[in-house]
């Protein structure tokens, strides 16, 4: 598999590079951004994957989160993929902002209409890492994952389903219990069909109930002024599930007073999240 460099900008001693490649999993052309710290000029470096939320592209996190300075400080790469396949021209994929284009929900669709292209789970967990590890100075044995909103859902579920592949996980404002919120129900019913047992494999709360005894380490931040806190995110449900399962020592769930759902919130706490990941990536 080959990729084409689209742009390169120097930042904090390293470079932000945008690549384009043909995705086999998604059957379309895809782009992603990577921040390579200066240490990548000398050899492979650890990396954090960041999964963005609804309506976002590969650019939002890299340009708006303020993560580059802290990543550069620790010699960590940042990898920011897109949020869905692009330009696949499926009827209805551009009808709403919370489904279809920009809203892949990091799952592998099984409903026939969507199954060919909407395979973001396999893209994130298999195809993109294979490409990155083979063609960039990334240490594939020292990677972790984080995300925001829909991407927080993606990061948590991908981590819980692939514990040996990622050193740790963190999330901003994740959709924690999508089978019980409007965003998740809309996406899952269309991508996966009516069988709710299938939905549970992409739900953090449900995955936690079946988790083995491997020790995990998770940081979650959410703002108390987040407009989606009660209706869509279900963080209270996540926190209660963690407590009921006796796993509170593995989860740091923080309610940040007065913060909303925006990148102003992410940029306010991104340093904490990078430092959380560094603890485990440098081991």
149 belongs to the catalytic site: yes
20: DSSP letter = E
Q: Which of 226, 273, 276, 277 is catalytic?
A: 226
261 belongs to the catalytic site: yes
Q: Which of 261, 273, 276, 277 is catalytic?
A: 261
Q: Phi/psi of residue 282, each to 5°?
A: -90, 0
Long-range interactions of 7-11: CB distance < 8 A, separation 24+: 11/35, 11/68, 11/72
DSSP-based helix, strand, coil % in the chain, nearest 5: 40, 25, 35
C-alpha closest to that of 167 among 178, 155, 181: 155
CB atoms < 10 A from the CB of 6, how many? Answer: 12
Q: Which of 23, 84, 144, 149 is catalytic?
A: 149
The answer to whether 230 touches 216, Cβ cutoff 8 Å, is no
Long-range interactions of 203-206: CB distance < 8 A, separation 24+: 203/157, 203/177, 203/178, 203/179, 204/153, 204/156, 204/157, 204/160, 204/174, 204/176, 204/177, 204/238, 205/176, 205/177, 205/234, 205/237, 205/238, 205/241, 206/177, 206/179
d(CA 122, CA 65): 26
The C-alpha torsion from 3 through 282 and 157 to 96, rounded to 10°, is -50
Our measurement of the distance from residue 3's CA atom to the centroid of its chain's CA atoms, rounded to an integer in Å, reads 21
d(CA 179, CA 223): 22
The set of catalytic residues is: 149, 226, 261
């Amino acid at each position: 598999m080959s990729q084409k460099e689209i742009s390169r900008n120097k930042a904090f001693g390293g470079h932000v590079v945008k690549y384009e490649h043909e995705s086999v999993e998604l059957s379309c052309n895809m782009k992603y951004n990577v921040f390579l710290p200066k240490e990548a000029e000398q050899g492979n470096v650890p990396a954090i994957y960041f999964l963005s939320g609804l309506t976002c592209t590969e650019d939002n996190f890299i340009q708006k989160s303020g993560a580059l300075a802290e990543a550069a400080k620790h010699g960590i790469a940042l990898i920011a993929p897109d949020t869905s396949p692009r330009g696949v021209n499926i009827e209805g994929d551009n009808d709403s902002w919370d489904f279809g284009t920009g809203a892949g929900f990091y799952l592998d669709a099984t409903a026939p209409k969507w199954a060919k292209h909407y395979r973001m789970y396999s893209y994130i967990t298999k195809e993109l890492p294979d490409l990155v590890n083979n063609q960039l100075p990334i240490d594939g044995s020292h990677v972790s994952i984080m995300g925001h909103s829909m991407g927080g859902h993606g990061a948590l579920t991908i981590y819980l389903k692939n514990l040996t592949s990622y050193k740790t996980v963190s999330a901003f404002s994740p959709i924690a219990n999508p089978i019980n919120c409007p965003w998740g129900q809309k996406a899952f019913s269309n991508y996966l069909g009516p069988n709710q047992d299938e939905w549970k494999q992409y739900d953090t709360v449900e995955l936690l109930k079946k988790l083995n005894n491997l020790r995990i380490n998770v940081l979650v931040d959410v703002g108390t002024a987040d407009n989606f806190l009660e209706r869509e995110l279900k963080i209270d449900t996540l926190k209660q599930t963690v407590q009921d399962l006796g796993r509170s020592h593995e989860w740091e769930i923080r309610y940040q007073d007065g913060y909303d759902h925006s990148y102003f919130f992410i940029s306010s706490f991104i340093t904490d999240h990078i430092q959380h990941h560094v603890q485990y990536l440098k081991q």
